[in-house]
């Protein structure tokens, strides 16, 4: 089958860059303006046409699940007090999407987290996104990738040009021919040393992947940092057929580190006309 229904959202990481805030609170529950960042992520997935969300969580992150479940006592109070806007906001998160929770027992890497969604997704192509970067673009970035997939019917990775000193934080893609901003990917390497990087194109946390990635990941040995790397699984896909990379239009805003989170909150609050403190220059 060739239809995309699922979006896999890995959210089982430890969030070590945001300690101590994330010691108990899942990083994905940190608010961005008025809602947790996982809600922004699911909205992006829905905008790209996902009907089913496979949310990969770890034990201790059940708060994420609670956020998307009905909270009848809270609803009853809001209803009794006539707080309609608040009630609508609470219901919005409950009605947003059909979510299946997949468990990753240990943080064994992004590739392993994606593999935890194999049973839910089956053999079908699927969307995948990391929730610690927010799409800020005229068309949401995952939807841009989905459109590219409609054109090429092959895996598509989100690509962004970075400076040489930044590339070793990301997967690095080497590309050949291009159709506008869509490049044929010939090689991917996870976190290369700056002197070894063969391009300035970083792989960002948005993907359209085929069901065959699961088998590729099962065969992939542990990689950089002792973790099963999604990039290494994608490398195996390149050996099987075309893989494309889209230099997307717009920005990904970091919300996975204190600096990025603060900057993104201030920026979005301004843009959305929220936050009197921000406007008053206190932030
Ligand atoms: P990151 O490494 O950026 O996030 O993983 P992290 O592990 O949560 O946070 P830091 O780096 O320790 O601060 C990218 C994405 O992959 C998920 C994370 O939840 C995040 O969304 N992930 C990573 C997993 O689900 N499982 C893993 O084993 C590793």
For residues 239-263, give the mean pLDDT: 97
Lowest-confidence segment of 7-16, 43-52, 164-173, 273-282 by average pLDDT: 273-282
**3-state DSSP call for residue 180?**
coil
For residues 151-159, give the mean pLDDT: 97
pLDDT tens across 81-92, in order? 999 999 999 999
276 has a pLDDT exceeding 80: no
Distance 277 CA to ligand 1 centre (A): 32
For residue 143, give both structure tokens. Answer: 């939807």
pLDDT, residue 31, reads: 97
For residue 106, give both structure tokens. Answer: 């240990």
Classify residue 154 by burial, with Cβ atoms within 10 Å: 0-12, 13-18, 19+.
middle
Distance 203 CA to ligand 1 centre (A): 15
Q: d(Cα 13, Cα 56) in Å, to the nearest integer?
A: 9
pLDDT, residue 283, reads: 46
What spatial distance separates the first Cα and last Cα of the chain, rounded to whole Å? 50
126 has a pLDDT exceeding 80: yes
Q: Which residue has its alpha carbon closest to ligand 1 atom 25?
A: 12
10 lines ligand 1 (CB under 6 A): yes
179 has a pLDDT exceeding 90: no
117 lines ligand 1 (CB under 6 A): no
56 lines ligand 1 (CB under 6 A): yes
pLDDT, residue 281, reads: 60
68 has a pLDDT exceeding 90: yes
Q: d(Cα 21, Cα 233) in Å, to the nearest integer?
A: 32
Classify residue 171 by burial, with Cβ atoms within 10 Å: 0-12, 13-18, 19+.
buried
161 has a pLDDT exceeding 90: yes
What percentage of the chain reaches a pLDDT higher than 90? 91
pLDDT, residue 282, reads: 54
Mean pLDDT of the chain: 94
For residues 187-199, give the mean pLDDT: 93
Read off φ and ψ for residue 272, nearest 5 degrees: -90, 0
Read off φ and ψ for residue 22, nearest 5 degrees: -95, 15
| Interior angle at CA 278, CA 130 and CA 134, nearest 5 | 10
According to the CATH classification, is domain 6-279 in 3.90.550.10?
yes
pLDDT, residue 178, reads: 82
1 has a pLDDT exceeding 80: no
Q: Which atom of ligand 1 is nearest to the CA of 107?
A: 28
Residue 275: left if φ>0, alpha if ψ -120 to 50, beta else—which one?
Answer: left
Q: Which residue has its alpha carbon closest to ligand 1 atom 9?
A: 15
Q: Which residue has its alpha carbon closest to ligand 1 atom 15?
A: 130
277 has a pLDDT exceeding 80: no
| Interior angle at CA 253, CA 98 and CA 180, nearest 5 | 90
For residues 129-155, give the mean pLDDT: 97
90 lines ligand 1 (CB under 6 A): no
**3-state DSSP call for residue 141?**
helix
The contacts of residue 169 (CB under 8 Å, 6+ apart) are: 191, 202
125 lines ligand 1 (CB under 6 A): no
278 has a pLDDT exceeding 70: no
Chain Cα centroid distance, residue 273:
26
How far is the CA of 179 from the CAs of 162, 196, 245, 246, 247, in angstroms?
Answer: 20, 26, 10, 10, 11
Largest CA distance in the chain: 63
**3-state DSSP call for residue 253?**
strand
61 has a pLDDT exceeding 50: yes
Classify residue 221 by burial, with Cβ atoms within 10 Å: 0-12, 13-18, 19+.
exposed
Distance 15 CA to ligand 1 centre (A): 6
255 has a pLDDT exceeding 80: yes
12 lines ligand 1 (CB under 6 A): yes
């Amino acid at each position: 089958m060739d239809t995309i229904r699922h979006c896999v959202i890995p959210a089982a990481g430890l969030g070590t860059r945001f300690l101590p805030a994330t010691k108990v609170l899942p990083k994905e529950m940190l608010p961005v303006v008025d809602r947790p960042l996982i809600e922004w992520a699911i909205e992006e997935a829905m905008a790209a046409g996902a009907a089913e969300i496979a949310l990969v969580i770890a034990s201790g992150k059940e708060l994420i699940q609670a956020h998307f479940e009905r909270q009848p006592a809270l609803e009853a109070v809001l209803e009794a007090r006539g707080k309609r806007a608040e009630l609508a906001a609470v219901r919005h998160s409950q009605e947003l999407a059909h979510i299946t929770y997949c468990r990753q027992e240990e943080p064994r890497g992004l590739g392993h987290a994606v593999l935890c969604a194999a049973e839910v997704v089956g053999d079908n192509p699927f969307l995948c996104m990391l929730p610690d970067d927010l799409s800020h673009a005229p068309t949401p970035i995952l939807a841009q990738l989905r459109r590219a997939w409609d054109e090429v019917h092959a895996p598509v990775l989100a690509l962004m040009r970075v400076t040489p000193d930044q590339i070793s934080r990301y997967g690095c893609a080497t590309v050949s021919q291009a159709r506008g901003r869509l490049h044929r990917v010939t090689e991917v390497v996870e976190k290369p040393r700056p002197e070894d990087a063969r391009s300035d194109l970083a792989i960002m946390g948005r993907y359209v992947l085929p069901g065959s990635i699961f088998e590729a990941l099962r065969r992939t040995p542990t990689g950089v940092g002792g973790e099963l790397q999604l990039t290494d699984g994608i490398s195996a896909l390149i050996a099987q057929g075309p893989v494309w990379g889209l230099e997307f239009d717009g920005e990904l805003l970091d919300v996975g580190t204190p600096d990025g989170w603060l900057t993104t909150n201030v920026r979005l609050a301004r843009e959305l006309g929220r936050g009197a403190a921000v406007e008053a220059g206190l932030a």
